[in-house]
Amino acid sequence: MLKPVYVEEWQKDGLNFYRAYDGRPDKAQMVSGYWSSQLLVQRMWEEAKKLSPAAPEELFMDFMRAANFVAPDNEMLHIARMEVPKGRSVVVIRALGDWRALITNRPHARTSKDPYHPFKNPKIESTDDVLYSLRIMPIPGEEQFKIPLFDSKWVKKVERGENWPLA
């Protein structure tokens, strides 16, 4: 996350956060991950529908990966939604995403045990690697939220259907 970083308590009706995950429920509910706001997800979905009416889901997932600097070895198969119940609050750590989260040349920084692959699991050491290997702009990303404490019952998989990814 880039500075400034804000630590805030949020309480408002209709508070929802979203994240992509690989299909394992424990990954959707992990405290250690980053979340996107409902407003960002709505913006990306509307843009994906405009730019790719035939395949908006695929473009949306590309937007999600790029906006949140998600490493290519993270299989983004599903969307999870955290719906904070009315009257409840959450503490959020809020800041812009940083492309350096993708750096993989440090010891033990790579999450995958697979050998380097130029597209599936590329070596990322510089802004050029981000541009050419990942095709992501190495500029400050969208606002991300780290939510250190929440009830895992608030997190549900968003089923594919008419209102995906926001259902």
Containing domain of residue 150, as a range? 6-96+143-155
Q: Give yes or no for a contact between 80 and 158, defined as CB atoms under 8 angstroms apart.
A: yes
The whole-number pLDDT of residue 56 equals: 93
> Domains in the chain: how many in total?
1
In a domain, 67, yes or no: yes
- Vertex 9, ends 76 and 85: CA angle to 5°? 65
In a domain, 108, yes or no: no
In a domain, 118, yes or no: no
pTM: 0.78
Q: Say how far apart CA 50 and CA 10 lie, in whole Å.
A: 32
In a domain, 36, yes or no: yes
Q: How confident is the model at residue 85 (pLDDT cuts 50, 70, 90)?
A: very high
- Residue 104: closest CA among 131, 128, 127, 122: 122
In a domain, 110, yes or no: no
In a domain, 55, yes or no: yes
Average pLDDT of span 109-120: 58
pLDDT over 70 percentage in the chain: 77
- In this predicted structure, the answer to whether residue 158 has a pLDDT above a threshold of 60 is yes
- In this predicted structure, the answer to whether residue 87 has a pLDDT above a threshold of 80 is yes
Q: How confident is the model at residue 119 (pLDDT cuts 50, 70, 90)?
A: low
